[in-house]
Amino acid sequence: TETQGRMHTSAATVAVLPEADKFEVNINEGDIKWDTFRSSGAGGQNVNKVESGVRLRYPWKNPNTGEVEEILIECTETRDQPKNKERALSRLYTFIHDREHQKYVDDIASRRKSLVSTGDRSAKIRTYNFPQGRVTDHRIGYTTHDLNGFLAGDIQDMIDALTVAENAEKLKETEL
């Protein structure tokens, strides 16, 4: 507040998100169906006689949709079947890791969006009114007139109200 009584306001957007968990790709190698075939291209008689190309088929449950998809990977890069198998398996791990990581990224993006809304001044979450000694959380309609206590760390009442509101929101989502 300045001497002429005008109040100045400011806005800030803060999103607190969990750190990324490292995860491993779990592939049941018994579910992989392997096919071998003759490679094409340069290689002389080797191409015509030796089945060095490999093809793998793997049934994978997509975490985004819950549907089982078949992943098909072919490898004919080397003249050695075991090396081609190794490379195909490596590509399978990479493919699944990328898809599961994308699900994590999409989940974080949606959680962040729900936390920060638009970031516009009109999208108020909480107001700290010093002249009135008031704190209001606009999302749940909670108000306390103990601003100094709130800033000193006496925030349990607001945490409880936010927890109740979050649980009600989760319950509403499960009913849909």
Q: What is the pLDDT of residues 127-168, one digit of tens each?
A: 888 889 999 998 899 999 999 999 999 999 999 999 999 899
| Residue 67 three-state SS | coil
Contact 27, 92 (CB under 8 A): yes
Residue 97 CA to residue 93 CA, distance in Å, equals 6
Percent of the chain at pLDDT exceeding 90: 27
Q: What distance lies between CA 72 and its chain's CA centroid?
A: 25
Q: What is the pLDDT of residue 126?
A: 86
Who's near 36: CB < 8 A, 6+ residues apart? Answer: 51, 52, 53, 54, 55, 81
Contacts of 124 (CB under 8 A, 6+ apart): 11, 138
Please state the pTM of the whole predicted model: 0.51
Q: Is the predicted pLDDT of residue 48 greater than 60, yes or no?
A: no
Structural domains for the chain: 29-116 (3.30.160.20), 126-175 (no CATH)
* 96-131 per-position pLDDT tens digit: 888 888 877 887 777 777 666 666 666 678 888 888
Confidence of residue 20 (pLDDT cuts 50, 70, 90): low
